Structure 1
Amino acid sequence: MDKQNSKFRWVIFASVLFTYLIMSSQRTAPGLITDQLMTDFSVTASTIGLVTSIQFLVYTGLQIPMGILADRYGPNFFLITGTALTGAGTIIYSLGTHEAVLFFARILTGIGDATIWVNMILILSLWFNEKEFTRLIGFAGMTGSLGFLLATVPFSVFIVILGWRGAFLSAGLLLCLCSVFLYFVLIKKSNQSAVVKPSTVPHERVPVMLNLRKMLSNRQAWGLFLCHFGLVGGYIGFIGSWAVPYGMEIYGMTRIEASRLIMISLVGALIGAPLIGWISSCLNTIKRPYMVFHFAVLLLWSAFLLFQAHPPFYLLVILFFLIGFGFGSNSLTFAAIRHSFPVKESGMVSGFANTGGFLSAVLLPGIFGYILDHFQSTAGNIAQGYYFGFFTPVIFSLFGLIGVMSIKEKRTEVTHKKTTEKVTEE
Structure 2
Amino acid sequence: MIATLIFQQARQKRRELIMLAGMIALYFFSYFQRVAVPGTVFNELQVDFNASAVAITTLGALFLYVYGSWQIFAGLLADRFGGLRMLLIGGLLMTVGALIFPLARSLPLLYTTRVLVAFGASFMYISLIKEIDTLFDRRHFAMLLSVTLFFGYSGGLFGTLPLERAVDWFGWRASFLGVGLLTAGVLLGNVWLMKRIRRPEPPHRRALRLFIKDIIQNRCGWYIIVPSAINFSIYFLFQASIGKKMLSDACGANSAQAAAIMFGMLLTTMVFTSLSGFLSRLIGNRRKPLIIGGTSLTLGALTFMLWVLAHPSDTAGLMAAGCVLLGISVSISPLLTSTMKEVNPEEAAATSVGLINCLSYLCVAATTNLAGMAMDAFREQAVVTTQAIIYPASAYRMILLGCLIAAAASWISSLFISETRGLCTYRQRLRLRLRF
TM-score (norm 2): 0.81
1:393 corresponds to: 403
Specify whether residues 129 and 83 from structure 1 end up closer, same or farther in structure 2 by C-alpha distance, changes over 3 A only. same
User: Which amino acid is 1:104 matched to?
Assistant: T
* In 2: Cα distance, 1:72 partner to 1:64 partner: 12
Q: Give the Å deviation of 1:207.
A: 6.1
Out of 322, 326, 330, the position equivalent to 1:327 is 330
In terms of mean alpha carbon deviation, does 335-344 or 309-318 score higher? 309-318
2:344 corresponds to: 341
Residues 26-41 of structure 1: matches in 2 within 5 Å? Answer: 26-31=33-38, 32=40
Q: Does 1:73 align with 2:76?
A: no
User: Which amino acid is 1:404 matched to?
Assistant: S
Out of 397, 403, 409, the position equivalent to 2:413 is 403
2:355 corresponds to: 352
Specify whether residues 259 and 294 from structure 1 end up closer, same or farther in structure 2 by C-alpha distance, changes over 3 A only. same
Encode CA deviations 1:173-198: one digit per residue, 9 max, x unaligned.
Answer: 332332333234346414234xx4xx
2:429 corresponds to: none
1:291 corresponds to: 292
* In 1: Cα distance, 2:174 partner to 2:395 partner: 40
Specify whether residues 5 and 27 from structure 1 end up closer, same or farther in structure 2 by C-alpha distance, changes over 3 A only. same
SS in 2 for 1:62: helix
In the alignment, is the contact (CA less than 8 A) between 2:292 and 2:411 conserved in 1?
yes
2:130 corresponds to: 122
Specify whether residues 220 and 180 from structure 1 end up closer, same or farther in structure 2 by C-alpha distance, changes over 3 A only. farther
Q: Give the Å deviation of 1:135.
A: 1.1
In the alignment, is the contact (CA less than 8 A) between 2:78 and 2:86 conserved in 1?
yes
In the alignment, is the contact (CA less than 8 A) between 1:89 and 1:106 conserved in 2?
yes
User: Which amino acid is 2:95 matched to?
Assistant: G
Residues 2-401 of structure 1: matches in 2 within 5 Å? Answer: 6-31=13-38, 32=40, 43-45=50-52, 47-159=55-167, 164-186=172-194, 188-193=196-201, 196=202, 200-201=203-204, 205=206, 208=209, 211-283=211-283, 284-305=285-306, 309-310=310-311, 315-371=318-374, 374=377, 382-401=392-411
User: Which amino acid is 1:134 matched to?
Assistant: A
Specify whether residues 400 and 140 from structure 1 end up closer, same or farther in structure 2 by C-alpha distance, changes over 3 A only. farther
User: Which amino acid is 2:29 matched to?
Assistant: I
Encode CA deviations 1:177-236: one digit per residue, 9 max, x unaligned.
Answer: 32333234346414234xx4xxx43x5x3762x733222111122122112112111111
In terms of mean alpha carbon deviation, does 284-293 or 311-320 score higher? 311-320
User: Which amino acid is 2:65 matched to?
Assistant: L
* In 2: Cα distance, 1:3 partner to 1:106 partner: 41
- Structure 2: tracts of 5 or more residues without a match: 1-7, 384-390, 426-436
Specify whether residues 92 and 162 from structure 1 end up closer, same or farther in structure 2 by C-alpha distance, changes over 3 A only. same
In terms of mean alpha carbon deviation, does 86-95 or 302-311 score higher? 302-311
* In 2: Cα distance, 1:56 partner to 1:322 partner: 24
User: Which amino acid is 1:286 matched to?
Assistant: R
* In 1: Cα distance, 2:12 partner to 2:281 partner: 18
In terms of mean alpha carbon deviation, does 305-314 or 388-397 score higher? 305-314
SS in 2 for 1:408: coil
TM-score (norm 1): 0.82
Q: Give the Å deviation of 1:54.
A: 2.3
User: Which amino acid is 2:218 matched to?
Assistant: N
In the alignment, is the contact (CA less than 8 A) between 1:64 and 1:351 conserved in 2?
yes
In the alignment, is the contact (CA less than 8 A) between 1:229 and 1:396 conserved in 2?
no
* In 1: Cα distance, 2:165 partner to 2:379 partner: 36
Percent of aligned pairs with the same residue?
A: 21
Q: Give the Å deviation of 1:375.
A: 6.7
In the alignment, is the contact (CA less than 8 A) between 2:101 and 2:176 conserved in 1?
yes
Specify whether residues 34 and 134 from structure 1 end up closer, same or farther in structure 2 by C-alpha distance, changes over 3 A only. closer
Specify whether residues 403 and 70 from structure 1 end up closer, same or farther in structure 2 by C-alpha distance, changes over 3 A only. farther
User: Which amino acid is 1:291 matched to?
Assistant: I
Q: Give the Å deviation of 1:278.
A: 1.2
Q: Give the Å deviation of 1:410.
A: 2.6
User: Which amino acid is 1:144 matched to?
Assistant: G
* In 2: Cα distance, 1:158 partner to 1:250 partner: 25
SS in 2 for 1:44: coil
Encode CA deviations 1:226-275: one digit per residue, 9 max, x unaligned.
Answer: 12112111111133333234334443333333333322312221221111
Q: Give the Å deviation of 1:153.
A: 3.3
In the alignment, is the contact (CA less than 8 A) between 1:87 and 1:172 conserved in 2?
yes
Specify whether residues 388 and 87 from structure 1 end up closer, same or farther in structure 2 by C-alpha distance, changes over 3 A only. closer
User: Which amino acid is 1:399 matched to?
Assistant: A
In the alignment, is the contact (CA less than 8 A) between 1:121 and 1:334 conserved in 2?
no
* In 2: Cα distance, 1:382 partner to 1:157 partner: 26
Encode CA deviations 1:22-47: one digit per residue, 9 max, x unaligned.
Answer: 2211234344556665676x553455
Specify whether residues 345 and 371 from structure 1 end up closer, same or farther in structure 2 by C-alpha distance, changes over 3 A only. same
In the alignment, is the contact (CA less than 8 A) between 1:3 and 1:9 conserved in 2?
no
Encode CA deviations 1:5-38: one digit per residue, 9 max, x unaligned.
Answer: 8233321332222111122112343445566656
SS in 2 for 1:292: helix
SS in 2 for 1:253: coil
Specify whether residues 164 and 226 from structure 1 end up closer, same or farther in structure 2 by C-alpha distance, changes over 3 A only. same
